[in-house]
């Protein structure tokens, strides 16, 4: 047993933490959130230069990591600083699908991704699909050598910045069938593809994407026709690790800010942390944080095993529950100050809570866990 990070990952953690604490203070980040782009190209470049994107890919894929603990190490630090740059979307989801399914031509895009020159977005969820991964109404129909895509995609994170979108569409089967879903690389400027972009509550941007007779060559298909579902699940398993680790890092910040506040804010002539009513609740947060940390280790450590899905479901359920507790209790123990937009905790709490809405909340993962445990 050894729960220490490897030397490489320790270095990655240290450099990334240092970079973000130098370059990504609250005021800078809040300005980034309010910008038209919703993220900073300069920070993105900086992250690429540090090798943060490369750490999320294996050597075969042109990176130098790509394992569960690489993902958790990177995302915990991104979470700690409340980073809004679209690492999940470009690297884990978009890059992950190209790496898993792409042919040599398609995989060539990864070099650009790792260098920070290309953004990606996964256009999978639809207006009524919620967290259900097999529900795809968007259709892909052959037209000679081309394929025509029609449908609507909902809350496509990072769509506006993406050079290529990975669009899921149904080639066969009914709307809920796991079989028949294909994935296509669609250039953002394809004719018939329109976007309605908007900012998100916890920073970054997304878009509603409409595909109206979008024509792509058959070579735009990633992997085998109709067999996209399993690859989606595998990549979303990696996203689950990333999201849970991001939440963990953000929770760490929330709890630290709370500790600082409890020890410095005075009411009734004494630090409010000396009121046992608050001291015990602060301790409860620390107790639950240890649970969350172990849960993230479980997910990261099992990502490459057969038990990955069940471990993931358990981790996402636990971190969602602890996340809500940490976000709400940290705000409460701060009082009014935590309600202000400028204060670091306000953003951090939003990041934590909004993790619920990407690939499933506590209940969704509880159901998954029950189903997988029974199997």
Ligand X SMILES: Cc1cc2nc3c(=O)[nH]c(=O)nc-3n(C[C@H](O)[C@H](O)[C@H](O)COP(=O)(O)OP(=O)(O)OC[C@H]3O[C@@H](n4cnc5c(N)ncnc54)[C@H](O)[C@@H]3O)c2cc1C
Interface positions with ligand X (CB under 6 A): 265, 267-268, 272, 275, 277-278, 332-333, 335-336, 339
Instruction: Tell the smallest beta-carbon distance from residue 336 to ligand X (Å).
Output: 3
Closest to 215 measured CA to CA, from 273, 284, 320, 141: 141
DSSP string, 118-135: --EEEE---TTTTT-TT-
Closer Cβ to ligand X, 142 or 286, answer by number? 286
Cα distances (Å, whole numbers) of residue 190 to 34, 59, 185, 290:
28, 32, 10, 47
Backbone angles phi, psi at 223, to 5 degrees: 75, -160
- The CB-nearest residue to ligand X is 335
195 to 254, contacts with other proteins by CB under 8 A? 196, 198-202, 206, 208
Q: How far is the CB of 163 from other proteins (least distance, A)?
A: 22
Q: Is 279 in the site for other proteins (CB under 8 A)?
A: no
Give the N- to C-terminal CA distance of the chain in Å, as an integer: 29
Tell me which residues in 137-166 interact with other proteins (CB under 8 A).
154-155, 157
Among 268, 306, 374, 375, binds other proteins (CB under 8 A): 268
- Per rule CB under 8 A, is residue 127 in the interface with other proteins? yes
For the chain, state the CA radius of gyration: 21
Residues in the chain: 375
Q: Which residues contact 266 (CB under 8 A, 6 or more apart)?
A: 272
372 interacts with other proteins by CB under 8 A: no
Q: Pattern of binders to other proteins over 341-370, x per CB under 8 A?
A: xxx--xx-xx--xx-xxx--x-xx-xx---
Pair 216, 146: CB distance under 8 Å: yes
| Residue 374 binds: one of other proteins, ligand X, none (C-beta under 5 to 8 A by kind) | none
Q: How far is the CB of 284 from ligand X (least distance, A)?
A: 14
User: Alpha-carbon torsion 313, 364, 369, 181, what sign?
Assistant: negative
Min dist CB 346 to other proteins, Å, is 4
| Distance of alpha carbon 360 from alpha carbon 327, whole angstroms | 18
Nearest CA to 118 out of 157, 156, 163, 159 is that of 163
Q: Which does 155 bind (CB under 5 to 8 A by kind): other proteins, ligand X, none?
A: other proteins
131 sits near other proteins (criterion: CB under 8 A): yes
Q: To the nearest whole angstrom, how small is the minimum distance from the Cβ of residue 359 to other proteins?
A: 9
Report which secondary-structure segment, H or E, holds 222.
strand 221-222
- For the CB of residue 269, give the shortest distance to ligand X in the complex, in Å: 10
Q: Which two tokens stand for residue 265?
A: 């804010």
Using CA atoms, how far residue 286 sits from 74, 79, 276, in Å, is: 22, 17, 15
Q: Rounded to the nearest whole angstrom, what is the least distance from the CB of residue 281 to ligand X in the complex?
A: 9
Identify the three-state secondary structure at position 235. helix
Q: Which residues bind other proteins (CB under 8 A)?
A: 125, 127-128, 130-132, 135, 154-155, 157, 176, 196, 198-202, 206, 208, 266-269, 275, 277-278, 324, 328, 331-332, 335-336, 338-343, 346-347, 349-350, 353-354, 356-358, 361, 363-364, 366-367
């Amino acid at each position: 047993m050894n729960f220490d990070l490897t030397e490489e990952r320790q270095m990655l953690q240290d450099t990334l933490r240092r970079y973000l604490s130098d370059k990504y203070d609250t005021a800078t980040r809040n300005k980034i959130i309010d910008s038209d782009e919703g993220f900073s190209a300069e920070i993105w470049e900086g992250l690429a230069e540090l090798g943060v994107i490369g750490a999320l890919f294996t050597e075969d894929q042109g990176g130098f990591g790509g394992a569960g603990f690489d993902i958790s190490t990177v995302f915990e630090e991104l979470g700690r600083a409340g980073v809004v740059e679209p690492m999940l979307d470009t690297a884990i989801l978009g890059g992950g699908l190209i790496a898993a399914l792409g042919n040599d031509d398609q995989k060539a895009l990864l070099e650009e991704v790792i260098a920070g020159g290309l953004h990606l977005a996964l256009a999978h969820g639809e207006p009524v699909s919620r967290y259900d991964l097999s529900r795809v109404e968007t259709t892909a129909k052959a037209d000679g050598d081309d394929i025509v895509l029609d449908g609507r995609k909902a809350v496509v994170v990072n769509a506006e910045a993406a050079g290529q979108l990975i669009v899921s569409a149904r080639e066969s089967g009914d709307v809920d069938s796991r079989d028949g879903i294909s994935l296509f690389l669609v250039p953002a400027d394809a004719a018939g593809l329109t976007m309605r972009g908007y900012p998100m509550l916890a920073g970054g941007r997304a878009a509603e994407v409409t595909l109206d007779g979008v024509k792509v060559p058959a070579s735009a298909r990633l992997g085998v026709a109709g067999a996209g579902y399993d690859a989606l699940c595998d990549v979303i398993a990696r996203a689950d690790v990333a999201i849970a680790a991001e939440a963990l890092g953000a929770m760490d910040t929330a709890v630290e800010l709370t500790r600082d506040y409890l020890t410095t804010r005075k009411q009734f002539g004494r630090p409010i942390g000396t009121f046992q009513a608050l001291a015990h609740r602060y301790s409860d947060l620390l107790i639950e944080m240890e649970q969350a940390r172990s849960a993230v280790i479980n997910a990261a450590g099992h990502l490459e095993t057969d038990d990955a899905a069940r471990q993931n479901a358990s981790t996402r359920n636990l971190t969602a529950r602890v996340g809500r507790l940490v976000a709400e209790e940290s705000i409460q123990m701060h009082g009014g100050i935590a309600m202000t937009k400028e204060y670091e905790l306000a953003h951090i709490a939003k990041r934590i809570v909004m993790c619920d809405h990407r690939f499933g909340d506590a209940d969704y993962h509880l159901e998954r866990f029950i189903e997988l445990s029974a199997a």
